[in-house]
Chain A
């Protein structure tokens, strides 16, 4: 079975700085993969290469077995959605405006608001719990609501693959859990292939089927959370001295820093 999205011998450099080195990765179909690693380890760059936002210096990314650069932007956008880390929007933008933007790859200048667009946009707003705020300005929303509006936008793209770059940054713990629960629920219901960059190793353990640990631009190790999250590996990935305890809620390994 070909992976829906995979990288092979990927290299990326900005000038002389090598950001990614020889990365080969298959995203498991219909699973949640988390990419973890220290700051500046290259995890965001990896995700952005997978999303075709960054062009690798060497090697390539293939989408459903076909090189992603050989496909039309629009076709790629129908299959892969990316939630960026920094998501600024114009002042006058309302929740609806943003979510409708997610339909772009399915629309054209002459077909901007089909019945199907409307149904999907309304469904997405409902899924993220923003139905009653559809007409609010993005600037009037709380951080958590705004993040949910952006998630509604990528959902409206109606893709099988969802890439999320730190979907929980700037959110407090209850909102982080809320967003991740939502992503997990949607992923299960729709059989999506999800890859996300997460900072918090414990949240990654809890919400992922597969963890990819990135260090200095290369993949250090990957596998199921139970195998990846060990004291030795935490030392290797983050340089963190830690104790691993079973999480009393999930039974999964939980990292406690020493």
Chain B
């Protein structure tokens, strides 16, 4: 297990070599998928068309397809993937349990219900992000409040969170009955998680949010990483355990709400990113960058698959993230129960 050391003046870091290599490879694969998303598809676009459109001197049709259709979709997919990946890795690490991911313990469901309510009340989609933020925050506060027992107890949060997720899905079903058939069908598609018809407004919101939140996440990674040990050990090393956890939850809720606001509660991306990332790096948790890149790859991959169906059929990307996520969930449950039985 060799490592790479970086020292600049009084700043210094150390990374396992394998982690660095995996990150570089992930970026390369992501770039290939991105190129495919821009150039592939039913309407043929050449590399020259693409650069012309990006420079702003191409015909209107090419411009519309490349800039307003494919590029927005691509940037939203990558952005929400990074956000889900970061959020999942933070929460799973600090609760030391892969089941404790925002989409399983109710943060994502909360943001989803919040967004649906916002649409219902305001009658427009403008308030979706606000609804997702409020819903996600409320769900998180509820879960933490119920599980709080002289500090944050990881095991209790998972159970409480699963309960909240189930409750919220019932609330969603209830809300659906109040929409007209047409609206309900749109909302249903959104609730699965879809990247259809994203606008530049979605791109801007997601990426501005990421530019603010991601640096904070990377800064907090130092403290969050210490929570991979027992609370008591982290505490004797000078980490303020509950404070670090609250920061981690806050970051995760904001990231999830940002992503849900843009594409709906895309299932399992937050959940699978960390485990896949650590399967590749074989280092200890957390590696926020690797998990974020895996999140982006899974999301973009799912959306690519959803659009490449035979017969011009197009499905919401969420169906494909669920196809990846469900087996990982079952495998994780299997491993955990087996570990406990031993």
Residues of chain A at the chain B interface (Cβ within 8 Å): 48, 51-53, 72-78, 80-82, 84, 86-90, 92-94, 96-97, 100-102, 104-105, 107-115, 117-118, 135, 157
CB <8 Å contact, B236 and A77: yes
Query: For B282, what are the chain A residues with a Cβ–Cβ distance below 8 Å?
Result: 92
CB <8 Å contact, B238 and A101: no
Binds A, one of B7-15, B20-28, B74-82, B313-321: B7-15
Q: How far is the CA of A30 from the CA of B228 in the complex (A)?
A: 33
CB <8 Å contact, A113 and B237: no
Shortest C-beta distance, A224 to chain B (Å), equals: 29
List B residues 279-293 near A (Cβ within 8 Å): 282-285
CB <8 Å contact, B239 and A113: no
CB <8 Å contact, B236 and A111: no
CB <8 Å contact, A101 and B237: yes
6 tightest CB-CB pairs across the interface, nearest first?
A: A77-B238, A113-B14, A74-B238, A105-B238, A109-B222, A104-B237
Residue of B nearest to A75 (CB): B238
Query: For B14, what are the chain A residues with a Cβ–Cβ distance below 8 Å?
Result: 100, 112-113
Task: Decide yes or no whether B230 CB sits under 8 A from chain A.
Answer: yes
Residue of B nearest to A89 (CB): B229
Q: How far is the CA of A105 from the CA of B236 in the complex (A)?
A: 9
A112 with B239: in contact, given A84-B230, A101-B226 (CB under 8 Å)? no
Residues of chain B at the chain A interface (Cβ within 8 Å): 1, 5, 7, 10-14, 96, 218-223, 226, 228-230, 232-233, 235-240, 278, 282-285
User: How many residue pairs, one in A and one in B, have C-beta atoms under 8 Å apart?
Assistant: 90
Query: For A90, what are the chain B residues with a Cβ–Cβ distance below 8 Å?
Result: 96, 228-229, 284-285
Residue of A nearest to B281 (CB): A92
- Tell me which of B218, B232, B239, B283 contacts A104 (CB under 8 A): B239
Query: For A76, what are the chain B residues with a Cβ–Cβ distance below 8 Å?
Result: 238
For this complex, 14 residue pairs linking A to B, each with C-beta atoms less than 8 Å apart, are A53-B232, A73-B235, A74-B238, A76-B238, A86-B230, A89-B229, A92-B282, A101-B226, A101-B229, A104-B226, A109-B218, A109-B222, A112-B222, A115-B7
Query: For A96, what are the chain B residues with a Cβ–Cβ distance below 8 Å?
Result: 1
Query: For B13, what are the chain A residues with a Cβ–Cβ distance below 8 Å?
Result: 112-113
A73 with B7: in contact, given A109-B219, A109-B221 (CB under 8 Å)? no
Query: For A92, what are the chain B residues with a Cβ–Cβ distance below 8 Å?
Result: 278, 282-285
Q: How far is the CA of A89 from the CA of B228 in the complex (A)?
A: 8
CB <8 Å contact, B233 and A84: yes
Query: For B237, what are the chain A residues with a Cβ–Cβ distance below 8 Å?
Result: 77, 101-102, 104-105, 157
Q: How far is the CA of A80 from the CA of B236 in the complex (A)?
A: 8
Shortest C-beta distance, A79 to chain B (Å), equals: 10
